């Protein structure tokens, strides 16, 4: 998008040395300051244009990835076309938070976000949650990570 400098390059002031409207300042100094400010402004506009071009490229990439990811269930057998499983796994915690009116402290917030996630991970792995939490709290780091990530190593 073309942007024009201010003041225009062909601008000529009628006053040669001092301008009565500028409290005696030199018109050449004032015009030089205007031109310097305009150079900075033009540079800012170039930066904005380059960012908007990069943003346009990024938007195209994101749209292509979204289009590819939205059709994963068509390409890979066994992938369900909905996120119903994720929605259902959150449902119990959302209802619990609604019934008990949330938490009142940062510690409560951590407890109500981390512990149910660990319990849910244990259930998905087919392990009793109490045993799973016991392993996480009492075992060494390698064994706890193996239990957490369902590794046999």
pLDDT for 11:
63
Q: What is the pLDDT of residues 81-102, one digit of tens each?
A: 877 777 777 787 778 777 777 6
Banded pLDDT at 6 (limits 50, 70, 90): low
Q: Model-level pTM? A: 0.41
**H or E element: which one contains 9?**
none
What pLDDT score was predicted for residue 153? 45
- 118 in Cβ contact with 133 (< 8 Å): yes
Whole-number average pLDDT of the chain:
77
Domain boundaries, the chain: 1-81, 84-148
Alpha helices by DSSP H, listed for 71-140, are: 72-75, 84-99, 106-125, 129-138
Model pLDDT for residues 131-152, shown as the tens digit of each residue: 888 888 888 888 888 877 876 5
């Amino acid at each position: 998008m073309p942007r024009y400098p201010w003041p225009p390059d062909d601008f000529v002031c009628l006053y040669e040395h001092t301008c009565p409207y500028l409290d005696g300042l030199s018109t050449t100094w004032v015009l030089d300051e205007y031109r310097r400010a305009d150079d900075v402004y033009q540079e800012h506009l170039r930066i904005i244009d380059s960012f908007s071009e990069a943003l346009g490229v990024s938007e195209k990439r994101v749209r292509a990835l979204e289009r590819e990811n939205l059709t994963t269930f068509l390409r890979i057998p066994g992938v369900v076309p909905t996120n119903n499983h994720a929605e259902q796994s959150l449902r119990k915690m959302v209802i619990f938070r609604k019934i008990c009116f949330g938490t009142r402290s940062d510690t409560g917030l951590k407890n109500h976000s981390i512990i149910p996630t660990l319990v849910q991970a244990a259930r998905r792995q087919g392990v009793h949650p109490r045993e799973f939490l016991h392993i996480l709290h009492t075992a060494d780091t390698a064994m706890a990570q193996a239990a957490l990530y369902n590794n046999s190593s």
